Amino acid sequence: MRCLKFFLCCLSALCATVLCVAQTDTSAVKHHFSGSASMWSRGEIRDGALPAENGEDFAAFLMGKTTLQLDYTSPWLDVRFAPKYFGVWGSSSSGNLGIDEAWLGLKSPVGLFVRLGRQKLSYDDQRIIGDDDWAMAPITHDVVKAGYEGKKHKLHLLLAFNQNNENLNGGTVYVNGGQDYKSMETLWYHYDPFPWLGGSLIAMNMGMQSRLTGEYKSYFQQLFGAFLNVHPKNFSFQASYYRQTGKTEYALPIHAWMTSAESSWQIIPQVGVKAGYFYMSGDPTFFVPQEHTFGMARKTEVCGFNPMFGSHHKFYGAMDFFYVTTYYGGNTPGLQDLHIGATWSPSKKFDLQGAWHYLATSVVVDDRGKALGNEWELSLNWKLAPDVSLMAGYSFMHGTEIMSLLKRSDEHNRLQWGWLMLVVTPEFFKL
């Protein structure tokens, strides 16, 4: 109830700002209206992961996603409506039709703004908050976003309060809803002291509900962290540190953290290289139950870091074994990733990328060590026309015994994944 009161108070203050913004002189306002689309079809081949009872550990399928986007903008008002359809070809569910974004925003000449509705969010390198557009169902939020954006300073406030239905009674119970949280408050500040240097601070509070005690009770968890981006000329360096506290919906205290560092260097216009390392804490009591059994462990705290709403496909290996799918037996032993890569771009229409990842857990698993294996990745992007791109990729992972235990993967620990995708992004009109 206190969260709802806080939310309504903040929303009232934002509405007052909206009323001030609405006083803008509209006598010579220029209005713009545009319509565009993003359509992709992707075929995938997977081999060596999660074998079925019939012994088949091979899978192949086609899937697609289409998003239409209508945008209206004026000096003081922005509106976006973006319905989407996605699904696997031939699926008996006939796919999924929904709303990707639907929001309106007011803005002022001095940099103040407020945006309300369903929207995608993206901050810093997208490790904590991103839209993950690679997935068929990208991450969206029903949220109020308000703040200030100037030449060197940016300050954003995010407020959300979710319910399953417009209840006549029953209080504010929210379980099994469309969002991962009942309430969310986030403050993000970014500062660019120089054109080649920028940094951000973020503080987030999320509330979830659980009925483990016999009644619905709210539990809150917090995330605090910082992000640094240094990019002089052809070199860039990014680093981050985040810490999580509070309690889970199971009333367990949270003590988790992560850190990352990555650098890149554009040697010549056609060739670039990069290298990086990140560490995400894990649960010290992690264990793997025997195959075909369910195991239980008594936990007194959660130490496995949760990357929240980040674009996971971007960071933890292209094969999406980590933080997209869960570990066998639940919980998390954390993750370490040491990686290097290179990009070759012989022309503006074509680039080829390669990368190598050494992956390991953060805690020892079943007294067998931490190493998960090595993953090699190769991908290309070929721009066939201004609105048409052909993309392809292949990944191979040679896993260890620990990888086989955690993922119940192929007994030979040779995991493969290949994909081919056609992306079309036409702009239908612009008025």
The gap from C-alpha 89 to its chain's centroid, in whole angstroms, comes to 25
Identify the pLDDT of residue 53: 56
Residue 157, domain member (yes or no): yes
- Report the relative pairing of strands 271-280 and 335-347 from DSSP bridges: antiparallel
Residue 202, domain member (yes or no): yes
Residue 25, domain member (yes or no): no
Identify the pLDDT of residue 298: 62
Sequence-ordered list of residues with C-beta below 8 angstroms from that of 414, at least 6 positions apart, any chain: 48, 396, 397, 398, 399
Residue 172, domain member (yes or no): no
CA distance 244 to 223: 4
Identify the pLDDT of residue 294: 45
Identify the pLDDT of residue 319: 87
Residue 349, domain member (yes or no): yes
pLDDT tens by residue, 282-338: 988 766 655 544 445 567 788 989 999 999 888 988 888 887 666 655 578 899 999
The gap from C-alpha 241 to its chain's centroid, in whole angstroms, comes to 17
Nearest to 233 by CA among 275, 179, 195, 183: 195
Identify the pLDDT of residue 286: 64
Residue 257, domain member (yes or no): yes
Residue 36 has which token pair? 């565009």
CA distance 253 to 303: 9
Residue 212, domain member (yes or no): yes
Concatenated DSSP letters for 4-57? HHHHHHHHHHHHHHHHHHTTS--TT---EEEEEEEEEEEEEEEESSS--TTS--
Q: Domain containing 387: what range?
A: 2-20+33-89+97-167+177-430
Looking at the DSSP bridge assignments, the partners of residue 399 are 373
CATH of the domain at 181: 2.40.160.100
The residue ranges of the chain whose pLDDT is under 50 are 27, 292-295
Count structural domains, the chain. 1
Residue 28, domain member (yes or no): no
